[in-house]
Structure 1
Amino acid sequence: MHWPKNMILRQSLQILWRTPLHEVLLWRSRWAEGRRRCYSTALSERLRERFAFKKATHSIAQLYLDPEISTELRLASLPVEQKVVVLHGWIDSAPRKLSKRLTFATLRGAQFDFVTSNGSSAVGLNGDSSEDLAGKNTIQLVQMHPENIKEDDYHSLRRMKQETPVCVEGTVGIHKGTDGRYEITIVKITALNDTMNFASQVRETKQWDPKDRYLQLRTPALQRALALRSRVASLVRTEFSELGFTEIETPLLFRSTPEGAREFLVPSRTNAGKMYALPQSPQQYKQLLMAGGVHRYYQIAKCFRDEDLRADRQPEFTQVDLEMAFSSAADVQAVVERVLTRVWRDVRGVHLEMPFKRLRYADAMSLYGIDKPDLRGGLELIDLSAFATSTRHSNYPVFEILKYRPSGPSDAPTLAGAPDGYPTLRSPLMYKIDLAKEPAEAWLKAAASEFKLKFHSGTSDVGAVAAVIMQAYNIQDGDILFACTRQQVPFENPTPLGRQRLHLLHGKVKSDEIAPLWVVDFPLFTPVERQEVVDGHIEFDYDSLMSTHHPFTMPVLSDESLGAVLDVASSAPDTHTQLDACTVLGQHYDIVINGVELGGGSARIHDSMLQRLILAEIMKVRGVLRDPEAEQPENPFTHLLTALSMGCPPHAGLAVGFDRLCAMLYGSESIRDVVAFPKTQSGADPLVGSPSEVRADVLLSYHMQLADKK
């Protein structure tokens, strides 16, 4: 046999050669067992540290707010050696090895502290507000390695990947070369879990896959959004508590009702053939609470609507719901103003003047062409009905214009596009006043031809009419006019000029300006849209009415509104009395801020007979009859009508879209940015795979089966 030249290896092999086989195997077994025990001990130690880690003493923001740390650093500008802090978080930037013994990295805090603008006097080392410092939520880590450190030591900062969760023990010092930022000199750092490379790689993406939403939630933007949402909810609850409201949860398993949008249905296993419906709002339950003696109710409620989604829509959404007994619309509006004023003050540091401005629906549509106007940019529409009427379409007689004065040569406005779903809808006529090329009345002649105008003055001198209009409304050379028509009481919302106004103002309003208002005196009923466009005009069926808000809204107390409703509702069954949707107004009110409808409410009908007449005779709800003695089993409102007849007090309420409120405070146009796990445009959640298929046997237990696909 040829032995190796290496002396130690040769001697070892010679010993093994002379040793009996069973002793070699026994030695090998003991050696392997020793390795397993060493590995098991090391693994056990690491697992024990991952679960038995130290509790954090501070968040990163709290370090800056700790007066003891701040004082020591101001006086000495040296690390606080006598005080070790413990922080939790993730490795935010890849560790940087600057020398054999020195490593730097950035820690992203586990807790995002949203310090609100409520007048806090806490400041940072350089005069930064506490809100500014809290928003940074990262801190530099410094590790000085001992001489005998091993590169694979799991306590070594330099071996940790981005997005590794860690527990850091260290001392606080000033990060040199910064405006008073802190840094942590590590005493000990423990990795609390391993992480895949994907967790750090996905951070650089611009388009996040919905399946990675939980990783996207780690980003500072969404951490701030969720912290803001939590803070707003806390402020809302505090304010309602101070105002004497009772928070009450209402059921999520409701019954299907004919009013409102399409519902989500939940089959019942124990009641064959019957289904629950998820509530679109707690409307009926909160009215029942008023009948039940609850004086002031509120809740932050989950609601559900099975409808096509947009940037500001989700199938499940949250609203701040409230109802007040023995109260009027004005009482509700005062409460909502107080809540919103506090939220804006404490979250954004903005003071809202109370009371908010009020605008009638008819005025909003006439001046701004939309029922949720943004008041920040000016630009009011001009109604020219006193001069001419359009005869192009009998239901669209009002002739109106919008005057736009360009700010300079580069300010060249364009026409707004048609809204989604209405590609053939008419667009405004756009005309630039150029007195050097054509006479002053040229724009009016073009409008007269386009809209078939009939002038009221009885004169054919268009130039004279144009001169009066231009002088009255200060129309000058270089101005751009947009002209179009609308209904007398606009149900087309927004109108063509309303869309054009929004288009012109886009990107030109002050983002930090807040313009709240109440829109009141809505039409109680709206004619049903026929889903067709004729010659650029939306067609409505004025013989078929639906509730503008909901069928429980009280009419305005006037002969034109309440009187007309009573006349129609109480007329003889064999007579056909038509209600004029253009003249009957309801006690419905919307809260609008910067062109966003944050919420809406109304004074409710608390008289059982009036409610029954509206449901039976005007809304034609199946199962509801004028005579309560002839009650039908399929009446979906029996419970409510009965409750109203049992001494229910007058009441009014409102619901504010909580998701929209948070999005506005956050500065986003999409509520997806303030919802932790939003649905996609199709209503799905790819992260968890919902909605999901259900086995046939499970469906059968709910007395259901899938229909064959055709």
Structure 2
Amino acid sequence: MLKLTHSCGSLRGSDAGKKVSLAGWVSSWRDHGGVVFIDIRDISGITQIVFGRDESADNEELLERAHLLRGEYVIAVSGEVILRPEGTRNEKIPTGEIEVAVSSMELLNTCRELPFDMKNMDAVSDEVRLKYRYLEMRAGRLKDNIIFKHKLFQTTRNFFSDNGFLEIETPFLTKSTPEGARDFLVPSRLNPGNFYALPQSPQLFKQLLMIGGFMRYFQIVRCFRDEDLRQDRQPEFTQLDLEMSFIDEEDIKNILQDYVSLLFKELLDIELKTPFPEMTYADAMLRFGSDKPDLRNPIEIKDITDIAARTDFKVFKQAAEKGVVRGIKLSDAEEISLSTIAALTKEVAPLGAKGLAWIRHREEGLHSQITKFFSQEILSEISERFDTVPGDILFFIADTEEVACKSLSYLRDRLFTPDENEFRLLWIVDYPLFEKDSDTGAWIPIHHPFTAPNPEDVELLNTDPGSVRSRAYDLVLNGSEIGGGSIRIHSMELQKKIFNLLNISDEEADAKFGFLLKGLEFGAPPHGGFAFGVDRLATKMLGLSSIRDLIPFPKTQRAYSPLSGAPSTVEFEQLTELGLKLDVPTKKKED
């Protein structure tokens, strides 16, 4: 093969007159009567090459061979860089000022008929795209996303290394310690009947690294969770994991703000405003109905439960006794018709809402089918609380706090289109340490059982666990949680107390987390950490709709790989070696 001198995206007008060698794929082919133009493509870009313009070459033989080339054939060429004639230059590509007059060509490989048009990937189904993922990589957009992620990794490693962190690996084959999702289990051939679990996160091991004296750790690590998939989930995903000793929440938030700001500056040339604003969990739920609000959206929820309790409107009055009455204001909403309101009412029904009340602000005042149940004084209070002006419309949910939050949060997002070029980051703090399991009524951790309680609330562990705030903090970007962390429990006594509240017996705790608990008895330092979902962060930065758009070989929503056929059956002998016997329910044949 020809010895390459340049990549297909590197030549410029200043290279005119140079003898060069390139290799890549045939992207397009054009015959202009005695001269053949071909765009040759590699990972760096495209260069136009031309057959029939090199006076020193056997143009007739080259043209004959050029006519045999087809899309995605792999070729290597040599020739001279020449400036394109005036009027034919392509300012849309970096190499558009030049072309290469081919003097020799090697055909390195042919290509069978393509399963789709690579220039129209939007028309290709997800299943087909995933099956021929390598072709989609060549098409451009996916390739660019993967390169972006590489640059993110590179910037990440440089930043944390420069700030005194050590990149340390943790085990992939470890003990099953369920963390909310199902584990992927790996049978052990050498220990029949026993199983490893692939890690859902390096949580326990990074805490042990702090006990081992490594004061600043980070790792770009693969994690695994056997859960139902959504757009922002994959069974295996990449996480930026870090942990620090002898710190508090502010230390961790400061280092992370510097890191995220650097990413946006280095990769997108965007200056973020720091420090990022901070909001308590309770305030976020009250004002936005969500613990991951999109601050690009100016619509805020207002609580009028106190006002509703004094009305004659039975729906509001009853809700105010046992739940809440809350609403949002949509400005300049004259175009909102009754049919639109009816459609919105249907949309919030699956969220538990039994109805959607509304009031318009007209020139003569507030008006609706329900305003006859309100005194003028009450209407004035409502108008003042929402600061309404003519043209505004108010939507209300009168229900439990949970239903009101879900429904109004949905309507906020539904009724506002944010600027995709704006990035708003937010810290959410003071999460409750526990919540009640909806099925059993037992206390469960909102984050994980190793999260430390707020020191001011420790006494409440004995009397009112539901009011205990945690030392957890999540980072939200444009309405998505991109990472979370907490200060950890480093006292064995406090960790046992938390386990007792969670109905985890000493025996169960020792069986699941014994290796960490023993470590806590040997001088564990105060420590805390954080974990970023790298794919989710990059997805937000690039404005993509799904993390699959930057993962080279993702799975479908059924955790299946159309490309490799995984998961698949295995040979009986392999199962025998592992001491396994399958008992898979057979599907009944349909009549």
Structure 2 length as normaliser, TM-score?
Answer: 0.89
Unaligned 5+ segments in structure 1 are 1-51, 73-79, 113-136, 449-460, 531-540, 569-578, 626-630
Question: Helix, strand or coil: the match of 2:327?
Answer: strand
Match of 2:458 in 1: 562
| Per-residue deviation, 1:255 | 1.0
Name which of 95, 100, 103 aligns with 1:187: 103
Match of 1:166 in 2: 75
Conserved in 1, the CA contact under 8 Å of 2:37 and 2:50? Answer: yes
| Per-residue deviation, 1:519 | 0.6
1:704 maps to 2:588 = no
Change in Cα spacing, 1:685 to 1:285, as seen in structure 2 (3 Å) is: same
Name which of 33, 42, 46 aligns with 1:99: 33
| Per-residue deviation, 1:388 | 3.0
Question: Helix, strand or coil: the match of 2:366?
Answer: coil
Match of 1:512 in 2: 421
Match of 2:169 in 1: 249
Change in Cα spacing, 1:395 to 1:245, as seen in structure 2 (3 Å) is: farther
CA shift digits 1:307-354 (9 cap, x unpaired):
111111101000100000111111111111111101100111100111
Conserved in 2, the CA contact under 8 Å of 1:278 and 1:304? Answer: yes
**Partner letter of residue 390 of structure 2?**
D
Matches within 5 A, 1:70-469: 70=14, 80-81=16-17, 83-93=18-28, 95-100=29-34, 102-108=35-41, 110-112=42-44, 137-144=45-52, 156-176=65-85, 177=87, 178=89, 179=91, 181-198=97-114, 201=117, 203-204=119-120, 206-208=123-125, 209=128, 210-389=130-309, 392=318, 397-406=323-332, 409=335, 415=344, 418=347, 423=350, 425-426=352-353, 429-433=356-360, 435=362, 440=366, 442=368, 445=371, 462-469=375-382
Name which of 453, 458, 480 aligns with 1:596: 480
Distance across 1 between alignment mates of 2:22 and 2:413: 48
| Per-residue deviation, 1:637 | 1.1
Distance across 2 between alignment mates of 1:57 and 1:396: 76
Change in Cα spacing, 1:111 to 1:633, as seen in structure 2 (3 Å) is: closer
Conserved in 2, the CA contact under 8 Å of 1:600 and 1:654? Answer: yes
Distance across 1 between alignment mates of 2:353 and 2:108: 63
**Partner letter of residue 87 of structure 1?**
L
Conserved in 1, the CA contact under 8 Å of 2:305 and 2:320? Answer: no
Match of 2:495 in 1: 611
Change in Cα spacing, 1:698 to 1:634, as seen in structure 2 (3 Å) is: farther
Match of 2:589 in 1: none
Q: Higher mean Cα deviation, 137-146 or 359-368?
A: 137-146
Conserved in 1, the CA contact under 8 Å of 2:290 and 2:405? Answer: yes
Conserved in 1, the CA contact under 8 Å of 2:398 and 2:404? Answer: no
CA shift digits 1:580-625 (9 cap, x unpaired):
42x211011110111111000000001111001111x11112xx32
Among all aligned residue pairs of Structure 1 and Structure 2, give the percentage whose two residues are the same amino acid: 35
| Per-residue deviation, 1:248 | 0.6
Question: Helix, strand or coil: the match of 2:252?
Answer: helix
Distance across 1 between alignment mates of 2:385 and 2:58: 89
Conserved in 2, the CA contact under 8 Å of 1:524 and 1:549? Answer: yes
**Partner letter of residue 111 of structure 1?**
I
Name which of 519, 541, 555 aligns with 1:665: 541
Change in Cα spacing, 1:234 to 1:169, as seen in structure 2 (3 Å) is: same
Distance across 1 between alignment mates of 2:318 and 2:239: 43
Question: Helix, strand or coil: the match of 1:476?
Answer: coil
Change in Cα spacing, 1:633 to 1:472, as seen in structure 2 (3 Å) is: closer
| Per-residue deviation, 1:479 | 1.7
Match of 2:313 in 1: none
CA RMSD of aligned residues (A): 2.7
Question: Helix, strand or coil: the match of 1:440?
Answer: strand
Change in Cα spacing, 1:485 to 1:644, as seen in structure 2 (3 Å) is: farther
**Partner letter of residue 291 of structure 1?**
I
Name which of 622, 629, 650 aligns with 2:526: 650
Change in Cα spacing, 1:428 to 1:345, as seen in structure 2 (3 Å) is: farther
Question: Helix, strand or coil: the match of 1:375?
Answer: coil
Match of 1:475 in 2: 388
CA shift digits 1:431-479 (9 cap, x unpaired):
241647x973646658x8xxxxxxxxxxxx6332111221343223332
Distance across 1 between alignment mates of 2:116 and 2:19: 29
Distance across 2 between alignment mates of 1:394 and 1:708: 52
Conserved in 2, the CA contact under 8 Å of 1:433 and 1:476? Answer: no
| Per-residue deviation, 1:53 | 3.0
Conserved in 1, the CA contact under 8 Å of 2:297 and 2:412? Answer: no
Match of 1:501 in 2: 412
| Per-residue deviation, 1:155 | 8.2
Q: Higher mean Cα deviation, 472-481 or 425-434?
A: 425-434
Change in Cα spacing, 1:369 to 1:417, as seen in structure 2 (3 Å) is: farther
Question: Helix, strand or coil: the match of 2:132?
Answer: helix
Match of 1:620 in 2: 503
Match of 1:49 in 2: none
**Partner letter of residue 566 of structure 2?**
S
Name which of 508, 517, 522 aligns with 2:431: 522
Conserved in 1, the CA contact under 8 Å of 2:52 and 2:59? Answer: no
Name which of 563, 568, 584 aligns with 1:687: 563
Distance across 2 between alignment mates of 1:702 and 1:306: 21
Match of 1:548 in 2: 446
Change in Cα spacing, 1:584 to 1:185, as seen in structure 2 (3 Å) is: same
Change in Cα spacing, 1:434 to 1:322, as seen in structure 2 (3 Å) is: closer
Bigger-Rg structure (1/2): 1
Conserved in 1, the CA contact under 8 Å of 2:234 and 2:559? Answer: yes
Conserved in 2, the CA contact under 8 Å of 1:441 and 1:463? Answer: no
Match of 2:312 in 1: none
Distance across 2 between alignment mates of 1:580 and 1:434: 44
**Partner letter of residue 134 of structure 2?**
Y
Distance across 2 between alignment mates of 1:391 and 1:374: 31
Conserved in 2, the CA contact under 8 Å of 1:359 and 1:517? Answer: yes
| Per-residue deviation, 1:415 | 1.6
Distance across 2 between alignment mates of 1:199 and 1:402: 49
Distance across 2 between alignment mates of 1:417 and 1:586: 37
| Per-residue deviation, 1:111 | 2.5
Task: Report the count of equivalent residues.
Answer: 564
Conserved in 2, the CA contact under 8 Å of 1:163 and 1:199? Answer: no
| Per-residue deviation, 1:494 | 5.2
